[in-house]
Amino acid sequence: MKPGSWPSIGLIYLYGVAASASLSKIIPLQGDVAAALGASAGEFSLLLALVTVPPALLASAVGSIIDRVGARAALLAAASVGALVNLAYLNAQSLQAFQVIRVLEGFVMVGAYSGAPALIMATAAPDRRRRAMAFWSTYTPVGVSLGLLLSAGFAGTPNWRGGYLIHLLLFAALVLAAFMLPRPAGAAAAVARPRASLLGAWMQPGPLRLSLTFGMLVMMGFGLNTVFPSWYSQQHHTTLGEASKLLAFGNLVMIPGGFLAGALLARGLRDARLLCVLMLLAILLSLPLLARGESSGLRLTALALWQLISGAAIAVVTSGLPRVVANPAQGAAAAGLLSQIAALTTFVTPLIWRPILGSGQWPLFIVVVALAATLAVLLFPRPARA
């Protein structure tokens, strides 16, 4: 497969999509996990979170290792682990076994989230790199939707683990496809370069500031996902299930947002300027989205526009990775740092947003959005002037 071609980039993209499906495929199975394994609501919440432990603790360090062994090897390893953990799920008979497997599944995300963008950056031509990274940024909503679809049809049936079997087969196909992954030009020369420390990405201002910017986007986006179903159901007297479905469909609007940002960046629009406009729009949209007493139609319209802007903002930040990486051989470490800070922010975000939901002080939602958006603009690294 020709390095840097769109088929090559599309193949790399699939590893991120398959890894992201690991986040959500268990969500439709809460009732089945409770009935079969005796999981309480709290234990199921812990089960959801355990997959983020490896990215939160190890992503940047593992990224540095991937820079040494190669992104192709990392994607092969991630797909292999993905197949093995899904096989383990099919045979696990206790909640404790599920918990251990869920932690191990997090390493699939570590390998894919660091290796895939590093391989895209290393193989795509400079004039295609930013658009390719904007395309890459859509892997999360696509993967989360895939994960929900994998299990939704089996939920509540005797074959409730069927989604794990399909995911196993998908990863097995990616193991075979790994041998078609492109090889970066000059890979041998990259191996000969001086090796950075395992935490070297934390010492580089560009990747660190970009990752902190991404963390602010996570604070806004994941925060909304945390409270919106409950808030919407309170305001419009619907069930949590109906509100959750509305949010799930809204998340898909992030995909065209990512493509739109990629097209604008490819036409020469400055990323810092575009991010500033997007954050201003996010603050304005948070008013009809989160205020009390708005109509259902206005709130859902605001949700769709919010997700479009979120997808565009994530694409802007992700496409900035090639610009801030000082050494092309350290792309996986920088991508790992970004996913690590995102995972750490994921832990903190509910602790901020859920108490606001409980208090009913909806203006505080707007304050959190405004602070996160402002910090995102201030932290985003500007390109050096000629």
Contact indicator for 21, 142 with CB cutoff of 8 Å: no
Q: Helices 71-91 and 331-359 sit at what angle, rounded to 10 degrees?
A: 50
Q: Which fold has domain 6-179?
A: Growth Hormone; Chain: A; (1.20.1250)
Q: What is the CATH number of domain 201-379?
A: 1.20.1250.20
Q: How confident is the model at residue 268 (pLDDT cuts 50, 70, 90)?
A: confident
CA distances from 41 to 23, 31, 230, 232 (A): 17, 10, 16, 21
Q: How confident is the model at residue 191 (pLDDT cuts 50, 70, 90)?
A: very low
Per-domain residue ranges for the chain? Answer: 6-179, 201-379
Does residue 164 surpass a pLDDT of 70? yes
Tokens representing 11 are: 């193949």
What sign does the dihedral 348-350-355-360 (CA atoms) show? positive
The whole-angstrom distance between residue 228's C-alpha and the CA centroid of its chain comes to 19
Least confident among 82-96, 113-127, 317-331, 359-373: 317-331
The whole-angstrom distance between residue 87's C-alpha and the CA centroid of its chain comes to 24
Question: pLDDT at position 196, please?
Answer: 53
Question: pLDDT at position 327, please?
Answer: 62
Q: How confident is the model at residue 240 (pLDDT cuts 50, 70, 90)?
A: low
Comparing 330 with 170, the larger pLDDT belongs to 170
Contact indicator for 339, 210 with CB cutoff of 8 Å: no
* Mean pLDDT of all residues belonging to the chain: 86
d(CA 145, CA 297): 24
User: pLDDT tens digits for 105-124?
Assistant: 999 999 999 899 889 988 88
Contact indicator for 15, 119 with CB cutoff of 8 Å: no
Please tell me if the domain spanning 6-179 has the same topology as the one spanning 201-379: yes
Does residue 386 surpass a pLDDT of 50? no
What sign does the dihedral 215-217-220-224 (CA atoms) show? negative
Question: pLDDT at position 189, please?
Answer: 43
3-state secondary structure of 2: coil
**159 residue type, one letter:** N
Mean pLDDT of 283-307: 92
Question: pLDDT at position 193, please?
Answer: 47
